[in-house]
Amino acid sequence: RPDDDGEAGLAVATKPKTKRPPMYKVLLLNDDFTPMEFVVMVLERFFGLNHSQAFELMLTVHKKGLAVAGVFSYEIAETKVTQVMQLAREHQHPLQCTMEKE
C-alpha cells in the first residue's frame, strides 16, 4: 500500500522512481597471439578512441589481463561485442570480447 497512512495516521511519501536503464561494461581480454596493432585498431574503430588512448588501453589489457573498453546500454554493448568478435574471427585472431552488467 504505497502512501498508506497506516495505523498512526501519518502519510509516508514514496520516492519518485526514475529508473535509469542498466549499463553494461564491454571487456577486452588478453591473449598471447592477437597482434597489439590489431587490438589498437579495434579500439579506434569500434570504441572511438584516438590512437594514443587505444594504445594505452591495449597495454593495460596486455599487462593486467583485461580492461573495460566502454560502458553502453545492452543493445549497443552487444553490437560492440559482435563487431569485435566477427573482425577477430575474420583475421583468425583469438581475441575475446565480452560484456558484463555494471
Nearest distance, CB of residue 78 and ligand TYC, angstroms: 19
The residue (of 79 and 98) whose beta carbon lies closer to ligand TYC is: 98
Q: With beta carbons less than 8 A apart as the criterion, state whether 80 and 72 touch.
A: yes
Write down the residue that cell numbers 593486467 correspond to: 64
Nearest distance, CB of residue 58 and ligand TYC, angstroms: 5
What 3-state class would DSSP assign to 50?
coil
H/E run at residue 74: helix 74-90
Contacts with ligand TYC by CB under 6 A lie at 28-32, 34-36, 39, 58, 61-62, 95
Nearest distance, CB of residue 70 and ligand TYC, angstroms: 14
CA-to-CA distance for 19 and 78, rounded, in angstroms? 21
The residue (of 17 and 63) whose beta carbon lies closer to ligand TYC is: 63
